[in-house]
Structure 1
Amino acid sequence: MEPQQIKEGYLVKKGSLLSSWRAVWVLLSEDAVELYKRKSDGAPKALIPLKGASITSPCQDFAKRTMVFKISTEKKQDHFFQASHGGEREAWVKDIRRIISCLQGGKKFARKSTRRSIRLPTTVNLNELYTLIRDQEDGVKELRLEKENRVYNHCFTGGTVVDWLISKERARNRVEGLMLATGLMNEGFLQPAGELSKTATTAGTESVFLDEANAFYFFADSGFSCEGYSSDEDDILKEEFRGNILKQGCLLKQGHRRKNWKVRKFTLRDDPAFIHYYDPTKGDDEPLGSIHLRGCVVTAVEFGPDAKRSGVDRDLFEIITSDETHYFLQAASGEEKSEWIQAIQTAAKNGK
């Protein structure tokens, strides 16, 4: 019998020989990770066997890449993958880890129930937890981070904090990790750095802490400092990033000039309503472009210009902005296409 297909989607993979990172279509089966250059390819260009393998997450071998996990095969070959956000990485790691366990025990793959997955201890010693997370050798590493013409010294990201809590078995998943990080934030152990994380503390939402790679924080008793400048143009640009993130992930996007299709990471925000898109192979947070969604029309389409010639003929949708700019995108599946359309429609209707 053919191995069952468990999961598929876009990830960014580090080259085995070169240090370059490339977006690839990944298909996860019951015993291997299959790599395709394109979603439409009929045969994989590489296969990673999972029997006897191990997985490391988070993998902190690359300073500017915070969503990386590592698969080490039985033959001691390391393969590095980068997801577009923490939730996506956790989903891949959880399934791969389960497959490895099933192969080792000779069992059939089946996802464990998550109905009782949120279960924190009734009493949590935040002072003790802060001492551990602050440890210079085994705690969260303080870095020099750059964003929007500013340099943040002795800083780290919200996603890194949640990664650490999970890796040290203080939390079993990102929801539990976020609850603990919020507790540390409320008690003043962690402080926000930058507009995004500061805005979250006053937004009135349930969590004042953001599990994101572009939300910066620092230890209350650290040597934190911020360098840089801000102009009126910077303030206008920052306004685009103030909204809450509704959805994020990788999609195939058609270029406006060459009409070629490339994988891009998309982040959808609600107020103001913007989609920013990035090159997922890069290790920075600088967007390639943005789409203002106020007054836009988004709909599923059967085809796009030159799409079939490029092997792109399914799960397509189109965004038409208020200034009549057309964007053609392909989702990983029909379900994901519907989710993106619904989320964009909601943002366009409610956001400014």
Structure 2
Amino acid sequence: MEPTTIREGYLVKKGTVLNSWKVMWVVLADDAIEFYKKKTDNSPKGMIPLKGATLTSPCQDFTKRMLVFKVRSAKNQEHFFQATHLEERELWVKDIKRAITCLQGGKKFARKSTRRSIRLPENVNLSELYVLMKDQDKGVKELKVEKDKRLFNHCFTGNTVIDWLISERKARNRPEGLMLATGLLNEGFLLPAGDVSKDGAEKGAECVFLDQTEALYYFADSGFFCEGYSSDEDVIMKEEFRGAIVKQGCLLKQGHRRKNWKVRKFILRDDPAYIHYYDPTKPRDTRWMAISLRSSRQMRYTTTCRLQQPMSARTGSKPFKASQRRENNSIRSIPWSGEQ
């Protein structure tokens, strides 16, 4: 029987021989993790059997890289993967852990059945409930919460969810509201944001929603992001970085000069509207490119550098000036054909 594909997507992987990090197309099956150099490749570059494997997340072996998790095979071979944002890492980690657990128990991979595990009534539609919770006027209000030297954006507390379910008459009491919230958590509509809520979601056989002010959660398709995972995050003060994240992920992008296609991490922000992108294999404090989405008939390209410039840049050496002229000439305004 062919292995079932559980999840696939771009991840940054550390080389097993060299210490370089490269973007790989990763496919999680029910018995192994395969990684490809390109998405279109027919044969994988490598494979990690999940039987007897262990997973560590978060992995803090690399001080300059965030959102890394480690998979150790039964033969003690370590493989390091880096996600591009927090939500992506949590989804990969959750599915890999589940696949390992199913292999250990001799069971076929299956995501947890919420209705069987918490006895959810058949007349409850979690998808409709999720839409109501996200309503901007009558739904659960998203907040900015500062905790443990980190700023959580577009999130809410566990007790806020229970209060909303009772006030909207979706639950008669707090235990009933807790059952519905746990169902939303198990089905992936809600995701844990802080350490307290993650502990509740990962301990035991089933995910547990916490009716607490210390437990933070966020909507699965929201613009949630967390600042302060490293001290480098504090230096981002430019106007274009202040907008809320609407969407983020990896895309293939064509180069300006060589016209070759490479994987880049893109972040779409709102108010002010910008698209930022960078090479996900490099630390995020090296170089960003920005596209302004202002109401005009052109898209403006700008460059933002967060590291101290090299000596050649500060002294204005001839080689540096020449390279800057070549780069500036290659960055052109292109027509914006979308609706105004």
Same fold (TM over 0.5): yes
Alpha-carbon offset, residue 64 of structure 1: 1.9
Q: What is the letter of the counterpart of residue 180 of structure 1? A: E
Q: For residues 182 and 41 of structure 1, do their structure 2 counterparts lie closer, same or farther at Cα, with a shift above 3 Å needed? A: closer
- Judged with a 3 Å threshold, the aligned counterparts in structure 2 of structure 1 residues 10 and 177 are, in CA distance, closer, same or farther, namely farther
Distance 1:256 1:289 in 2: 12
Name the SS of the counterpart of 2:241 in structure 1.
Answer: coil
Distance in 1 (alpha carbons) for counterparts of 2:63 and 2:271:
31
> Does the CA contact (< 8 Å) of 1:56 and 1:70 recur in 2?
yes
Given that 1:34 and 1:46 are in contact with CA atoms closer than 8 Å, whether structure 2 keeps it comes out as yes
Alignment of 1:83-94 (within 5 A): 83-94=83-94
Does the alignment pair 1:292 with 2:292? Answer: yes
Distance 1:112 1:175, change over 3 A: same
- Alignment partner of 1:180 is 2:192: no
Partner amino acid, structure 2, of 1:32: A
- Residue 81 of structure 1: CA displacement? 0.3
Tell me by how many angstroms 1:165 deviates: 3.7
Q: Assess if the C-alpha contact under 8 Å between 1:87 and 1:174 holds in 2.
A: no
Identity of aligned residues (%): 54
2:225: which partner in 1?
212
Classify 1:93/1:227 alpha carbon distance in 2 versus 1 (closer, same or farther; 3 Å): closer
When the two structures are superposed, what TM-score results if normalisation uses the length of structure 2? 0.58
Within-5 A mapping of 1:106-145: 106-113=106-113
Aligned amino acid, residue 43 of structure 2:
A
State how far apart, in whole Å, the 1-side matches of 2:255 and 2:73 are. 37
Task: Check conservation: 2:52, 2:100, Cα contact below 8 A.
Answer: yes
One-letter amino acid matched to 2:112: K
Q: Counterpart amino acid of 2:247?
A: K
Q: CA deviation at 1:294?
A: 2.8
How far does residue 291 in structure 1 lie from its aligned partner after superposition? 1.2
Equivalent of residue 334 in structure 2, options 310, 318, 324: 324
Q: What residue is the counterpart of 1:38 in the other structure? A: 38
Give the distance between the partners of 1:85 and 1:179, measured in 2 at CA: 25
Q: Which has the larger radius of gyration?
A: 2
Look up the match of 1:122. none
Aligned to 1:257: 257
**Residue aligning to 1:130:** none
| Amino acid paired to 1:82 | Q
CA shift for structure 1 position 106: 1.1
2:157 corresponds to: none
Contact 2:14 2:81 in 1 (8 A): yes
Partner Cα separation in structure 2 for residue 178 and residue 239 of structure 1:
35
Judge conservation of contact 1:33–1:49 (CA < 8 Å) in 2: yes
For structure 2, list consecutive stretches of 5 or more residues without a partner in the other structure: 121-125, 127-146, 154-191, 298-331
Residues 50-107 of structure 1: CA deviation (Å, up to 9, x unaligned): 0111111111111121201110101111101000111100111111111111111111
Superposition pairs for residues 275-286 of structure 1, below 5 Å?
Answer: 275-286=275-286
CA distance in 1, matches of 2:83, 2:234: 30
Counterpart CA distance in 2 for 1:174 and 1:254 is: 44
Separation in 2 of the partners of 1:266 and 1:240?
A: 14
Once the two structures are superposed, the pairs formed by residues 1-352 of structure 1 within 5 Å of their partners are 1-113=1-113, 162=193, 164-165=195-196, 169-172=199-202, 180=214, 212=225, 215-216=227-228, 238-295=238-295, 323-324=333-334
What is the SS of the residue equivalent to 1:98? helix
CA shift in 2, pair 1:2/1:268, >3 Å: same
Higher relative contact order (CA 8 A, sep 6+): 1
Partner of 1:310: none
In structure 1, stretches of 5+ residues that fail to align are 119-133, 135-139, 141-154, 184-204, 219-223, 229-233, 298-321, 328-344
Assess, with a 3 A threshold, how the Cα gap between structure 1 residues 157 and 175 changes in structure 2: closer, same or farther.
farther
Q: Distance in 1 between matches of 2:71 and 2:5?
A: 18
CA RMSD of aligned residues (A): 4.1
Distance in 2 between residues matched to 1:19 and 1:163, nearest whole Å = 31
The one-letter code of the counterpart of 1:253 is K
SS at 1:87's partner residue?
Answer: helix
